[in-house]
Structure formats: C-alpha cells, structure tokens
C-alpha cells in the first residue's frame, strides 16, 4: 500500500502527523540489521501493516523473504488472531500456495518467514506477457484458490502484490489468513484491497465468489493490459483487445468471472477451474491460428 500525497488543505499538524507515521514505519527496521538469525538485506515492500525484506538466514546460508508487522501492531490481539488464522490455513499444502516457513517472536517482533521469489506479479505486469504465459499463470492462481476453497478457506485479498513469481513463471499465492488480519488491524473493519474487491465484499459480505471476482480481474489485466473499474459494467475497457486474442467462449468465461452480481458468478474457484481447463487449450489454439493467418 503506497502513501497518498498529502493534501494541500491539511493543517500543518496533520502533515507532521502523516510524515511522522511514515518515518516511524520506515525507520524502525534498518538494512543490515540482524533479527535473530536473519540479516535484513533489502526492503521488498512496505504497507500500512508490515514491511517485507529479503533477508539472509545466517545459519542455513539461504535467502528468504521476511515479513514483519510494524511494532505498533504487534499486540496480544493481533497475535491471537494470527494464531487462529495460521491454524486454519496450515493444511493448505499446494505447489501454488506460498508456505509459511517459520513464525516466531524475536525481540518483541512477530517475524514471518517465506520462500524468496523473484518478483511479484504486479512487477511482472510492467513487462509484456505472452498469451500462453498469462494463461499458465492464471491456471496456477485458480488452482491455488481452488485448493483453499476445498478447505473452506477464503483468501479475501487476491491481488497482483500477493502473487509471487518464481523462476520459469511458477507463481505462488501469498498471505492466506495474514491478509485478513492486516486489513482488519489497519482499517479497523472489513477485508480486501479497494480496486480488487467484488462489490459484495466491499459491503462487508465476502464469499468464495468474491475470490473468483478478484481472480477474474487479474486475468483480465494480464490479457488486456487494462483494469476493469467500478461499477464493472460490461464490456469493460480492453474488451476489443480481448476479442482479438481469444474465442467468444473464453470471453463468456471472463464475463461470468467478473459479473457484479455474485449469484451469476462461478460459485467458487473449483468450478471456475473446471471450466478454465476446458477453455485454455481452445484459447491457445485460437491464438495460434490467428497468428498463422496473419503471417
């Protein structure tokens, strides 16, 4: 989460307060600082709830990603919620779900350790994605969420920042459970990130269909380069570009995925995956046929 520019209309005291909070979040942890056995090497990201670092495990000699909530959020309430969420999600073992390697209290800080990826999907989207690659990534995301849904776990914050890219375009979905804690803690209520949320989720009624909607937005962005925006009227921006790439049946799949009315959406990622797997090879063949015809 990035900090919005400070409004000119704010008072001097408000400006100072905003800058002080930003300073506290950024200065409480330093590069090359050692926390337990982990030496922080570089900052990968920072949000309202936590900072993420590349760190060296000085005992095993491997690099990992370390997520550390800001000190003001390391409270008994947060830790109790964290324990509950982790116990709920610990059975989610899947090749496309980022596993939590370790979670410890070190120097009064909650330190969460994960495998280190190459970049986030958000960063990857700044470069061109071939159709085959985009569809492969889409399948991996849907498979991860389908696994969660089969265990009755809802992610609630599926977005490109939480999709971690590893070598050979293997992706793993991060922040199961943690996303809900961070959003509740920082915002006080509700879960999800505005811009990636289904309409009903923004109203405080998330479901598995809400995760389907978020996945659909990501797939749309990968295939068209555009983000559908509220009120999500059909057809969204990028529709013509999508029509030039995939057959009509895949466009129908996309429309059902990002349908504002949750009852008209796929009921969960398992159903979404079943349809996607039938359409994916047809979309690839369609694209290859069009390329040959235009050659």
Contact 177, 233 (CB under 8 A): no
Q: Which of 17, 102, 157, 211 is catalytic?
A: 157
DSSP state of 244: T
DSSP string, 8-63: TTS-HHHHHHHHHHHHHHHHSS-TT-EETTEEEEEEEEE-SSEEEEEEEETTTTEE
Distance (Å, whole) CA 172 – CA 150: 17
Q: What angle do CA 268, 231, 216 make, to 5 degrees?
A: 30
Q: Active-site residue 157, yes or no?
A: yes
Strand partners, 112: 67, 103
Distance (Å, whole) CA 98 – CA 108: 25
Residues with a known catalytic role: 157
């Amino acid at each position: 989460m990035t900090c919005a520019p400070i409004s000119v209309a704010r008072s001097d005291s408000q400006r100072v307060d905003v800058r002080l909070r930003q300073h506290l979040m950024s200065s409480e942890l330093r590069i090359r600082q050692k926390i337990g056995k982990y030496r922080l090497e570089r900052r990968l990201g920072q949000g309202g709830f936590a900072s993420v670092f590349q760190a060296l495990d000085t005992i095993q000699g491997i690099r990992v990603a370390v997520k550390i909530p800001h000190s003001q959020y390391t409270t008994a309430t947060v830790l109790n919620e964290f324990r509950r969420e982790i116990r709920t999600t610990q059975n989610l073992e899947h090749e496309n779900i980022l596993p939590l390697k370790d979670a410890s209290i070190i120097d009064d800080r909650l330190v969460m350790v994960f495998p280190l990826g190459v970049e986030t999907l958000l960063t990857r989207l700044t470069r061109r994605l071939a159709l085959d690659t985009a569809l492969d990534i889409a399948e991996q995301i849907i498979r991860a969420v389908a696994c969660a849904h089969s265990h009755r776990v809802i992610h609630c914050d599926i977005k490109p920042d939480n999709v971690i890219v590893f070598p050979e375009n293997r992706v793993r979905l991060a922040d199961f459970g943690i996303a809900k804690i961070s959003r509740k803690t920082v915002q006080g209520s509700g879960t999800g990130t505005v811009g990636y949320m289904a309409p009903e989720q923004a109203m405080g009624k998330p479901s598995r269909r809400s995760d389907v909607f978020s996945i659909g937005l990501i797939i749309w962005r990968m295939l068209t380069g555009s983000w559908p925006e509220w009120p999500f009227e059909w057809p969204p921006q990028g529709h013509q570009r999508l029509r030039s790439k995939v057959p009509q049946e895949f466009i129908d799949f996309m429309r059902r995925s990002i349908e504002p009315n949750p009852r008209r959406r796929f009921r969960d990622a398992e159903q979404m995956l079943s349809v996607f797997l039938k359409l994916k090879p047809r979309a690839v063949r369609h694209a290859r046929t069009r390329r040959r015809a235009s050659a």
